[in-house]
Chain A
Amino acid sequence: MSDRAASAAELRADLAVDKKDKNHKTKRAALRKVIVNMTINNTDMINLFNEIVRCMAVDDLEIKKMCFLYLETYAKSRPVLASNALDILENDFDSSSPLVRALALRTVSSVPLKPFAELTCKRSLAMLKDQDAYVRKTAVFAVAKAWSADPKGPMSNELLKSLNHMLVDQNPSVVAAAVAALNELTSHHKSIVLTIDEFTVFQFAKILPDCNEWSQVYLLNAIMEYVPQSSIKAIRLIKMIMPRLKHANAAVITAAMRTLLFLSNYAADLETEVPRFGESIDQAILLLLAKPAEIQYVMLRNCIMLLQHRPDLVHLDTSPFVIKSADPVYIKISKIEVLLLLSSPKNYSDVIFELETCIGQEDETTSRRAIKTIGRLATTIPEAADSCVRVIMRNSMKGTDYNAQEGIVAMLQILRRYPDKFIHVVDDIVSLKDTIWSDVKARTVFIWLCGQYPSIVQDAPAILSEECKSAFASASSSDLQLTLLTAAIKLFLAYPVRAKMLVPRIFEIATTVDTSPDVRDRAFMYWRLLSADAGKTRDIVTTHLPAITCENIVIDEACLEELELRLGHLSTVYLKPAASLFRIAKPMKLEQSPALLPRLKTTNLRKNAPPPTPTRPQNQMSRQHSMMFAHPPRPSLGGPTTSFGHNQPMDSPALESLNEFENDKLIDI
């Protein structure tokens, strides 16, 4: 385009043309150039302020629009010049065209300067009574802007009160705008609360069908500010809102779903009163899963929350979550997550089948996640363990390197969950040594195997002493070093002769080379234990471990409740409590009312959760502790004081931390 990169000097003359400019043709063209240059950050344009203010007075909508845009962009950098425009703007408030009135008000309220804010305060109240709904709607947002600019200002009470009056406006769009404004102001300022009485809330529900799609979203949000006092009221509202679940607009569906779920907490006998309630919610979820990827993503993340929080209500089968090759990676990963939550002793074979299909056909990230998920499936559903192990091993043996690496990490969890059941696959894993060695996580697991199954891993001493050289060489992972230490000790306790050379050497390296304090402390501790009493060392190091359980992503109950009340909002996408993410978020919870139903304690979140694990050998734990403290290390030994802060068995803390890491990752993606 030719009008790029013009200079202010060139345009100045055109902007100032007066008499000869028929229909303001020249002016308009010049202004277009100004806007283009402004957009591409040509700072020279700022020098045209006076000319632009003069053009503002021209009685032409297009010219006005461009001038106002200019004003909004540069007002902050030229506050004095900007205030010259105030008179013209004030004139426009009285224009006979509603478009101009609204435009002027919108502009004035968007300029972050004091005189402009004052003018907004002064005029917006009157414009709330404009005869044109479009102007009233604009005025509602202008009032909200004026209020947030100075919540404690002299006018603030009056502004709020006038917004309240708008809730009974004749025009549904204006009501919706007022509701949106009030809802926002109250949700971010602790001093004010939005309460909506019963009459108004039913009024809102009644005008829903008459509103434009976005207005429906705002009204639905506002309905959640009302706390039903009886079950009958809640059910009446539910019936009025249900049809919204079929709307074409995804935001309306989500808002309706959120409101309905909220109301269901106050509706007794929902199943008999509204027989298709649960199914309607399920279907709305499916609708959203057929939308563009970004929309799907938001819904998938919310499914993770809903499946945990409302297992009684939401019943989905696995078919909508089949992974398609065209899905973006973030969708695939989220689907895998949901599939895991949906898995049960009945359908696990379908889930495994689907996950295995991913392994061969998809990208590395998805394949890795699929393998990891199969591992988690094995630990949550005992019936599935056999097939999971088969699939993991099959893919580790024939697939790519990363399949094997992820496979062995997954196997670690399974071996710990079912300590004796799958010893036969250890041989196969050992044969994969060269394939997986490049991956630190997988190598760590391999080293753990060396210590755990010294009888199966034939050349364990050689592998460990080889690894000794590299593990402490540079800044390698302390997880690996810790695992290596423990594995070496376990090997030594099982076969003292074979590891005779290894142990002193590893002690020496671990306590002299510059390593992390944890690693050094652990080395010293083992060293002392061994020199004091090898028998007791065995008790401590090769103790019987409590069986691990593997729940899926665990979000706590209060957080789930808050997330549900915020369905579709950002916190539900990140799946974290709002307070941890947003500084100014008010906490949300279900308000008390006589109708509030006690929530069934979801002790058994997943019907297929693993059977309660054999109670942790409490006495053994305490025995361990007393043992540790019975023989306090003597500082005179020369090592740094060892901290015995651990309250977990000494075996492989490195691997414990691996688990934690995975749990975190899961929630973040």
Chain B
Amino acid sequence: MASAVFFLDQKGKPLLSRNYRGDIPMSAVEKFPLLLMEVEDETAVVPPCLSHEGVNYLYITHNNLYLLALTKRNSNAMEILLFLHRLKDVLIEYFKELAEESIRDNFVVIYELLDEMMDYGYPQITETKILKEYITQHSRIFELVVPQAQARPPVAVTNAVSWRSEGITYRKNEAFLDVVESVNMLCSPTGQVLRSEILGSVQMKCYLSGMPELRLGLNDRVIFDHQANTTGKQMATGSGKSGGRAIEMEDVKFHQCVRLSRFESDRTISFIPPDGEFELMSYRLNTNVKPLIWVDCKVTKHATSRIEILVKVKGQFKKRSTANNVEITIPVPDDADSPKFKTTTGTVKWRPEKSSIVWKIRQFGGGREFAMRAELGLPAVQASDATESKPPIQVTFNIPYFTTSGIQVRYLKIIEPKLQYQSYPWVRYITKSGDDYAIRMSS
């Protein structure tokens, strides 16, 4: 549990704090910026948990802010750090962005939230949708409508269904379901895939009245990890169709609304959804994916005069699909200058502040291939201690109407037992590059 929570500015000066247990003097926070500096000087590694004179400092950072929790016991670090992240998320949803100014302008609401979200150092509720029902940013309006004597916490705060309130109504009942797959990949310069994974996410937007029961059915090829063992290690491939191979999902993780025990027993994904947007489930496929977009890069370096870069890029996905907004970021030396580019498609820009050139292609058909040639000048004198830092080539893209894994939604049933309305489920698919789609440069 946490004894106190602080918001600190860039320099480590407290902006706002809440003392939950009173067992640590609040002045302990003054040591925090010094502690960060000390640790940085000593070891050059500053982990998110620090201990000093019996006080433990756990923190996360966001937009030049520090969110810090103190504890002097052997507390659950996972719980505290996650709480800080949730606190950050809640405040972002409340204020659109979380920065020094938004904290300064909202002291009162933040105190109220801190009071509800944690009691005696124990996280209580971190669900923005529910908090918003009784802690409103313009509480004035709320007060006028509801006389104080009747003010009560939403039932959801202590209910089994803690993510949805009763009595929601919509004129048109709709549910939107997006399957988003992010591909992370690391390739060697020769095209060997060093690491690849698909991170899938099923995101929903529900505009449904009452307390609807939803059931989601996925295609038969999807095998959740529990059954997988018997079928042996089959790999799902990006090219789909090839004889309906199994899609072996790992690390399946559900929103808290999904009945986990039910899923465990008969693999049905059934749930009462929260209102509005949420992530229903996420999964990971640890399979060998062929690079959807492959970049071949040849660099010729003429020391002290210029550097030539020849880039070929190929779309290795289905002909009828199209990748949108493809961006290829190729690192160049820090001291390069006067760039010249030649390409058949798209635009190339030099980003000196990031020491890279960026090649953008709006639309990229499956199976197509493009080339680009770049030439940059190098200074005549070379710094003697230039480090050989070689970041990889980064690629970002998105391909609509297509999932790399081959996952498909068979049905999405919506039943509201009391209201029995007609509802409209919508389903979309998209594949995009993950945070880390990189191809190493040859040395």
- Cβ contact of A132, chosen from B74, B78, B152, B385, cutoff 8 A: B152
Q: How far is the CB of A36 from chain B (nearest CB, A)?
A: 5
A188 within 8 A of B: yes
A611 CA to B114 CA, complexed, in Å:
56
Quick one: closest A residue to B441, CB to CB?
Answer: A361
A301 CA to B115 CA, complexed, in Å:
31
A181 CA to B121 CA, complexed, in Å:
11
Per the 8 Å Cβ criterion, residues 38-96 of B in contact with A are 43-49, 51, 54, 56, 58, 60, 71-79, 81-85
Q: How far is the CB of B66 from chain A (nearest CB, A)?
A: 12
Task: Determine, out of B123-131, B238-246, B298-306, B352-360, the stretch whose residues face the partner at the interface.
Answer: B123-131
Please tell me if the beta carbons of B85 and A294 are within 8 angstroms of each other in the complex: yes
A61-B151 contact in complex given A28-B140, A329-B45, A400-B387, C-beta closer than 8 Å: yes
Please tell me if the beta carbons of A286 and B284 are within 8 angstroms of each other in the complex: yes
B422 within 8 A of A: no
Per the 8 Å Cβ criterion, residues 19-45 of B in contact with A are 22, 43-45
Total CB contacts across the A-B interface at under 8 A? 252
What string of 1s and 0s marks CB contacts (under 8 Å) between A270-295 and chain B? 00000110010001001100101111
Please tell me if the beta carbons of A286 and B48 are within 8 angstroms of each other in the complex: no
- Cβ contact of A217, chosen from B47, B79, B127, B284, cutoff 8 A: B79
Q: How big is chain A's contact interface, by range?
A: 35 or more
Per the 8 Å Cβ criterion, residues 281-315 of A in contact with B are 283, 286-287, 290, 292-295, 297-299
> B144 to chain A: which residues have CB within 8 Å?
23
Q: How far is the CB of B180 from chain A (nearest CB, A)?
A: 15
A209-B261 contact in complex given A106-B119, A134-B157, A324-B436, C-beta closer than 8 Å: yes
Q: How big is chain B's contact interface, by range?
A: 35 or more
> A250 to chain B: which residues have CB within 8 Å?
78, 82
A59 CA to B147 CA, complexed, in Å:
9
A329 CA to B47 CA, complexed, in Å:
8
B134 within 8 A of A: yes
Q: How far is the CB of B20 from chain A (nearest CB, A)?
A: 8
> A276 to chain B: which residues have CB within 8 Å?
225-226, 229
What string of 1s and 0s marks CB contacts (under 8 Å) between A477-502 and chain B? 00000000000000000000000000
A329-B149 contact in complex given A28-B140, A570-B75, A570-B77, C-beta closer than 8 Å: no
B168 within 8 A of A: no
- Cβ contact of B74, chosen from A98, A364, A566, A665, cutoff 8 A: A566
- Cβ contact of A97, chosen from B150, B160, B253, B286, cutoff 8 A: B150
Per the 8 Å Cβ criterion, residues 54-69 of A in contact with B are 59-62, 65-66, 69
A152 CA to B160 CA, complexed, in Å:
36
What string of 1s and 0s marks CB contacts (under 8 Å) between B148-162 and chain A? 111111000110101
> B56 to chain A: which residues have CB within 8 Å?
570
> A138 to chain B: which residues have CB within 8 Å?
119
Quick one: closest B residue to A188, CB to CB?
Answer: B73
A96 CA to B389 CA, complexed, in Å:
67
A173 CA to B148 CA, complexed, in Å:
25
> A181 to chain B: which residues have CB within 8 Å?
120
Per the 8 Å Cβ criterion, residues 202-235 of B in contact with A are 225-226, 229
> A8 to chain B: which residues have CB within 8 Å?
none
> A174 to chain B: which residues have CB within 8 Å?
158
What string of 1s and 0s marks CB contacts (under 8 Å) between B109-146 and chain A? 00110010001101111110000001000011001100
Please tell me if the beta carbons of B60 and A292 are within 8 angstroms of each other in the complex: yes
Task: Determine, out of A158-166, A438-446, A523-531, A573-581, the stretch whose residues face the partner at the interface.
Answer: A573-581
A203 within 8 A of B: no
What string of 1s and 0s marks CB contacts (under 8 Å) between A562-584 and chain B? 00001011111110001001111
Per the 8 Å Cβ criterion, residues 131-176 of A in contact with B are 132-134, 137-138, 141, 144-145, 171-174
> B382 to chain A: which residues have CB within 8 Å?
none
Q: How far is the CB of A395 from chain B (nearest CB, A)?
A: 10
Q: How far is the CB of A426 from chain B (nearest CB, A)?
A: 26
- Cβ contact of A60, chosen from B148, B263, B282, B385, cutoff 8 A: B148
A35-B81 contact in complex given A243-B261, A286-B284, A322-B186, C-beta closer than 8 Å: no
B390 within 8 A of A: yes
Please tell me if the beta carbons of A329 and B44 are within 8 angstroms of each other in the complex: yes
> A132 to chain B: which residues have CB within 8 Å?
152-153
Q: How far is the CB of A267 from chain B (nearest CB, A)?
A: 18
Per the 8 Å Cβ criterion, residues 1-57 of A in contact with B are 1, 23, 28, 32, 35-36, 39
The 9 closest A-B pairs by CB, nearest first: A243-B260, A133-B158, A568-B78, A210-B160, A212-B162, A330-B47, A294-B48, A251-B79, A365-B44
Q: Could you write out 14 A-B pairs with CB less than 8 Å apart?
A: A96-B150, A106-B115, A134-B152, A145-B120, A174-B158, A209-B260, A246-B253, A251-B76, A287-B251, A294-B60, A360-B443, A399-B388, A568-B77, A569-B78
Q: With A172-B160, A214-B125, A569-B77 given, name 16 new contacts (CB 8 A).
A: A23-B143, A32-B108, A96-B149, A102-B153, A133-B158, A173-B162, A174-B158, A213-B126, A247-B256, A249-B256, A275-B229, A294-B81, A329-B46, A398-B388, A573-B47, A669-B43
